[in-house]
Structure 1
Amino acid sequence: MSKETLEIGETVVQAVILHQIGNRLRKEPLVVADKCFSINDSISNVILGGYLKGIVNNKNRYTINSENDLRLNDVFYHTSQFFEKKISFIDLSQKLATHLYTCCHHPNIGAGDLFIILFDCLKCNNEYRSAIGIYKSEIKQKYLAAVSDGSKNQLEIYSGINPDLIDKGALVVDGSEVIYAIDRLSSRTKYWIEDFLKAKQVPNENIKAVLTANVIEKIRNDICDPIKKQDFGRDILKLCKNRDFLINQEIEEISKKYVSPNSWSEELGKLMNQKGMVGIENINISTKNLQNKLKKIFNQVSLGNDISLIIPNDYSLCDVNLTVNQENISINIVLEAENG
């Protein structure tokens, strides 16, 4: 997937419309609007500072998940129709609201307000483009306001939407293969990313390191001999030495010396599928991030029988002999200092 830069400093808000999305399983209605709000500079600045700034982040990068035809993805299809000037902004917003309403497959999905926002003058790879923001607010925030009529002061409670705290959001940029998405309440239901957007996450640098470390740990656990476990770890750390980045195929080649040739690709594929992430053939991994995550993994060596050793950083395991009988377990360990 190509790398792109998105600059939002010159972005303006062109239009805003709100629809009310109920839960169809609870027989709550879908109420669609047919007019946009009037917006002034103050409202526009709040929207830009909250809804736009809050979603444009590398950790929120996703890509539309469609194995055959992107036009089969409802969000991509409807937004493309708008960008190609085949439907109006209001028509687009109503189609997105209807699609979201049909995606309510779980009784725990909360009703809420759906904001559809048209942004203009986003700078994507040095080109000005339009974008569609889709934001669903499921939780109203309570605010205290001081009210004075000249003779007395009092506090009043107001209920409203906080643009700085996005419940669910998506930003679709014209001509981009990347969308930005947030689902703050994903622990309850996963319909926003999986059903509504049908998107998969694009791993950022930290996620790549976490994924790689998890696969390395799984491969290491499949190595029975504790000495070979340690050798595998040493080979990985040697690969990282004096380098800023490495690619996953280099680690895969090392793993083939210790486990079956397909183990690495199979474990990586399963993990990325479980995490709902887009598959990437060549993963560039920051060695600094990776080494930080590998320290705890490599310092612990399993000997079997639910026994593990924590090896100090300055030592390596040279030999181990474990004897088990009915009454006790005998372990002989030889450690060697790294500096000899």
Structure 2
Amino acid sequence: MFFHQDATFEQLSIHRVGNKAQDEFYILSDEPVDLSNDEVLPDLLMQYFMKPFAKANEVYRFYHPNDDLQLNEVYYFAKQYFDAKISFHEMSQQLSKHLYEVSEHPKIKAGEVYVVALKNVQIEGEEHDAIGVFKSENKEAYLKVYPNAGGFQLDYEQEAININKLDKGVVIVNVEEEEGYKVLVVDQTNQSEAVYWKDDFLKIKTRNDNFQQTGNFMKVYKNFVTEKLDDTFELEKADKIDLLNRSMDYFKSKETFDQKEFEEEVIGNPDAISLFKSYQQNFEEEFDSPFQTNFEIASPAVKKMSSAYKSVIKLDKNFHIYVHGKREYLETGFDEDKGMNYYKLYFENES
């Protein structure tokens, strides 16, 4: 759903935000950070900021309780920047001040706030500009070992940041402005005080539209067939491909998804249906992404997922069998004389 491999940093500003309830203050930098002469740091920052979003399946939108998006501070300043009405650095300062104002729970930790301008982030198959806002709250001690006078010297960094552990982050994608943009969120803190990031700072709600419902369901079903069914059922590769082909035919031929209908027409087996429901529920809980039992099927999402639905059986390095339907015309066996497995295919015409 979200890809950052081709994304690039345009600008970066760093500020520090304290806990307002503890009478800590914020510190705003005077200008953005210059990364133009550093060949290593941009890649490290990209890993730190963007890698956690690889599992961000849920897409959000900004909102405001009064139904006026202009009253949502993050939306307002992001829009001002996207519309070229304020500079990037001014926007980053305003967002940091807003974050400070909502940091009123006594357990909220102070930390650095990184605001970045991004180009070529890809979401749902399209590339867009975006803004990233990230906060680092937890520091770790790191050891450094380096050669010295025929041996090695040991040193440490007491308050360092682990680039594999982003605490909080949000990516605001410059698309669907009138609906509140497309927003992706990461929050690794589970304590009750952590809700300030989503609820107080960002004020976001689940987008969860037909595109996302379609894509997520097809992804979960595909993973279920390829990874989970083997735990309970003995299936040949052709059987799995048949299950995937049947699901793809369903999504291509129907206008509306109905969960019960899908289970009966595509899965069929009651035990497999029960297993799939459990697998689906685990996905909903892990990614906080509930499925609807009925929704309109989004054709662009089906087209996007079709490339992930593999219908090929690879036999050694000699043959590839593409299975597009008619599972009953495909048989497998073992030849005792040759000591090899074989496939037998039935067909009416050769082209």
TM bucket by the smaller chain? 0.5 to 0.7
| Among candidates 22, 26, 39, match of residue 30 of structure 1 | 26
Residue equivalent to 1:242: 265
Q: Aligned partners of 2:198, 2:161: CA distance in 1, in Å?
A: 21
User: For residues 264-311 of structure 1, what are the alpha-carbon distances to aligned partners after superposition, in whole Å with 9 as ceiling and x for unaligned?
Assistant: xxxxxxxx9xx99899795589xxxxxxxxxxxxxxxxxxxxxxxxxx
The AA in structure 2 aligned to 1:149 is N
Please state if 1:18 is matched with 2:14: yes
Does residue 142 of structure 1 match 2:147?
Answer: no
Q: Deviating runs (4+, > 6 A) in structure 1?
A: 236-239, 275-281
Equivalent position to 1:183, from 187, 191, 213? 187
Residue 120 (structure 1) shift: 1.3
Contact 2:14 2:112 in 1 (8 A): yes
Equivalent runs, 1:213-252 vs 2, <5 Å: 240-243=263-266
**Can you list the C-alpha shifts for 1:115-140, whole angstroms capped at 9, x where unaligned?**
11111122345554221110011101
- 2:52 counterpart SS class: coil
C-alpha distance in 1 between matches for 2:117 and 2:206: 23
Name whichever structure is richer in helix by fraction: 2
Report deviation, 1:200: 2.2
- For 1:71-86, list aligned pairs within 5 A: 71-86=70-85
The range that moved more, 195-204 or 170-179, is: 195-204
Tell me which residue corresponds to 1:62. 60
- Root mean square deviation, CA, Å: 3.2
CA contact (8 A) 2:52 2:186 kept: no
Counterpart for residue 223 of structure 1: none
Distance in 1, Cα, partners of 2:267 & 2:204: 30
Paired residues of 2:14 and 2:113 also in contact (CA < 8 A): yes
- Contact 2:128–2:174 at 8 Å: present in 1 too? yes
The alignment partner of 2:57 has SS state of helix
Q: Secondary structure at the match of 1:98?
A: helix
Letter in 1 for 2:152: N
Q: Secondary structure at the match of 2:265?
A: coil
> How far apart, CA to CA, are the structure 1 residues paired with 2:81 and 2:267?
43
Which runs of structure 2 are paired with 1:91-102 in the superposition (5 Å)? 91-102=90-101
Contact 1:200 1:278 in 2 (8 A): no
1:289-334 deviation digits (Å, cap 9, x = unpaired):
xxxxxxxxxxxxxxxxxxxxxxxxxxxxxxxxxxxxxxxxxxxxxx
User: Does 1:114 pair with 2:113?
Assistant: yes
Relative to the length of structure 1, the TM-score reads 0.59
* Number of residue pairs aligned between Structure 1 and Structure 2: 226
Quote the offset at 1:56 in angstroms: 4.2
Q: Does residue 167 of structure 1 match 2:167? A: yes
Residue 194, structure 1, aligned to residue 199, structure 2: yes
Amino acid paired to 1:84: D
1:182 partner SS: strand
Once residues 125 and 291 of structure 2 are traced to their aligned partners in structure 1, the CA distance between those partners, rounded to angstroms, is: 27
Judge conservation of contact 1:64–1:70 (CA < 8 Å) in 2. yes
Distance 1:41 1:240, change over 3 A: same
The percent identity for this pair of structures is 26
- Taking a change above 3 Å as real, the CA distance of residues 70 and 14 of structure 1, as seen in their structure-2 partners, is same
Q: How far 1:80 sits from its partner (Å)? A: 0.7
The Cα shift of 1:171 comes to 0.4
Asked whether the equivalents of residues 56 and 185 of structure 2 are also in contact (C-alpha less than 8 Å), the reply is no
Instruction: State how far apart, in whole Å, the 2-side matches of 1:79 and 1:278 are.
Output: 28
Structure 1, unaligned stretches of length 5 or more? 210-235, 246-271, 286-340
Structure 2 unmatched ranges of 5 or more: 221-258, 269-283, 298-351
Distance 2:291 2:77 in 1: 25
**Alpha-carbon spacing, 1:14–1:149, altered in 2? closer, same or farther (3 Å):** same
The aligned counterpart of 2:50 is 52
Give the alignment's TM-score, normalised by structure 2: 0.57
- 1:128-181 per-residue CA deviation (whole Å, 9 max, x = no partner) reads 422111001110122111022233312222131223211010000112432110
